[in-house]
């Protein structure tokens, strides 16, 4: 997220998941690295306690700022600790919500999303088109569990997954099929934060107990590695153990791209277009600002406009400001 994006509300200017020298508050919606560019050493941020804990294990310690009057954090349902920012102007009651990444579908390793009415909605555009429909999450999970069991009969299964969020979701899905995957030290440290916050996970860790891990590897197993290491890790493990190694990913982009693995599951921690519309309906905004890469924000806004929403992409200029007052003034009529 390279652009500056700020919400002006009364006397506050809040940088939204970015660095903005002109803002007096810094909101960090969650601990994924593409949302933490505003963090400097010793930063004071608006964030959830869990996001603060996850940032600490990722080498970005922050102190938390008290929420000013009229502001609230709402669960975003994306990864553990992920939040939306709700801001209401006390004098007028005008309100705005900023969503970083979010999903409506329930995740087995995150809080359920909370939604409330707001005049202005600043919404993420990761999957901007109605063409992307993830389908039923329970079916995807059942497919994954079937595939896990089947591959373990004849070899080793490696998932390429980010260490925060997706790794924990895959571990929990495997646990529910009676399988404890192997993970690296980085994922282990994040798992500890999940464990401390009520999401217990059963796994073997290279960092935790090398002997136990090596013993576990004598049998067929499921491992989780960083996506960019997947190909190399699969080759290395295949020659080390002289076994067939299957590769898989679990991401919403599986609906769009061929990921080059033996199997790809469309398990996402984002909203697809249908979920985005449901989210908008629940927030019931007067105006929607779409944010994301220029192209996706534009595409998302145009699809929303076609459905009768008042939507505008936040792109095409260096400084994006969504102010409650001006937003309502700027768009007095439906297009």
Which span sits near Zn ion by CB under 5 A: 11-19, 29-37, 55-63, 313-321?
29-37
Which span sits near Zn ion by CB under 5 A: 9-17, 30-38, 204-212, 303-311?
30-38
Distance (Å) of CA 276 to CA 28, 126, 130: 21, 10, 10
Q: For residues 51 and 35, is the Cβ–Cβ distance under 8 A?
A: no
CB of 30 to Zn ion, least distance (A): 6
**Residue 101 or 119 with smaller CB distance to Zn ion:** 101
**Residue 51 or 247 with smaller CB distance to Zn ion:** 51
Which span sits near Zn ion by CB under 5 A: 3-11, 24-32, 67-75, 297-305?
24-32
Contacts of 168 (CB under 8 A, 6+ apart): 79, 80, 109, 187, 190, 191, 194, 199, 201
Phi, psi of 55 (to 5 degrees): -60, -35
Interaction with Zn ion in 70-109: which residues (CB under 5 A)?
Answer: 101
CA distance 256 to 266: 9
**Residue 32 or 89 with smaller CB distance to Zn ion:** 32
How far the first Cα of the chain sits from its last, in Å, is: 28
**Residue 2 or 335 with smaller CB distance to Zn ion:** 2
| 32 counts as binding Zn ion under rule CB under 5 A | yes
Q: For residues 292 and 160, is the Cβ–Cβ distance under 8 A?
A: no
**Residue 184 or 269 with smaller CB distance to Zn ion:** 269
Distance (Å) of CA 261 to CA 72, 137, 169, 229, 235: 41, 20, 19, 12, 13
Residues that contact Zn ion, how many (by CB under 5 A): 2
CB of 32 to Zn ion, least distance (A): 3
Phi, psi of 15 (to 5 degrees): -70, 130
| 124 counts as binding Zn ion under rule CB under 5 A | no
CB of 314 to Zn ion, least distance (A): 18
Q: Which residues bind Zn ion (CB under 5 A)?
A: 32, 101
């Amino acid at each position: 997220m390279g652009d500056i994006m700020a919400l002006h509300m009364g006397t506050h200017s809040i940088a939204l998941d970015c660095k903005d020298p002109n803002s007096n508050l810094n909101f960090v919606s969650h601990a994924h690295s593409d949302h933490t560019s505003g963090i400097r050493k010793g930063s004071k941020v608006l964030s959830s306690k869990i996001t603060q804990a996850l940032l600490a294990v990722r080498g970005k310690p922050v102190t938390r700022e008290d929420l000013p009057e009229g502001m609230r954090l709402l669960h975003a349902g994306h990864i553990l600790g992920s939040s939306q920012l709700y801001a209401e102007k006390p004098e007028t009651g005008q309100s705005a919500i900023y969503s970083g990444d979010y999903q409506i579908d329930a995740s087995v390793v995150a809080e359920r999303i909370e939604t409330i009415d707001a005049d202005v909605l600043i919404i993420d555009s990761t999957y901007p088109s109605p063409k992307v429909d993830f389908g039923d999450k329970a079916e995807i999970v059942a497919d994954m569990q079937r595939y896990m069991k089947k591959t373990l009969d004849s070899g080793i299964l490696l998932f390429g997954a980010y260490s925060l969020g997706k790794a924990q979701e895959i571990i929990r899905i495997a646990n529910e099929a009676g399988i404890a995957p192997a993970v690296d030290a980085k994922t282990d440290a994040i798992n500890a934060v999940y464990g401390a916050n009520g999401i217990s996970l059963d796994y073997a860790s290279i960092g935790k107990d090398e002997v136990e891990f090596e013993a576990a590897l004598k049998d067929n197993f499921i491992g989780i590695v960083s996506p960019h290491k997947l190909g190399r890790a699969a080759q290395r493990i295949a020659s080390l153990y002289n076994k067939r190694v299957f590769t898989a990913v679990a991401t919403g982009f599986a609906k769009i791209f061929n990921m080059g693995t033996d199997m790809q599951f469309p398990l996402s921690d984002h909203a697809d277009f249908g979920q985005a519309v449901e989210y908008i309906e629940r927030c019931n905004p007067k105006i929607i600002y779409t944010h994301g890469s220029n192209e996706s924000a534009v595409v998302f806004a145009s699809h929303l406009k076609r459905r009768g929403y008042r939507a505008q992409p936040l792109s095409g200029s260096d400084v994006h400001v969504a102010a409650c007052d001006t937003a309502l003034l700027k768009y007095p009529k439906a297009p």
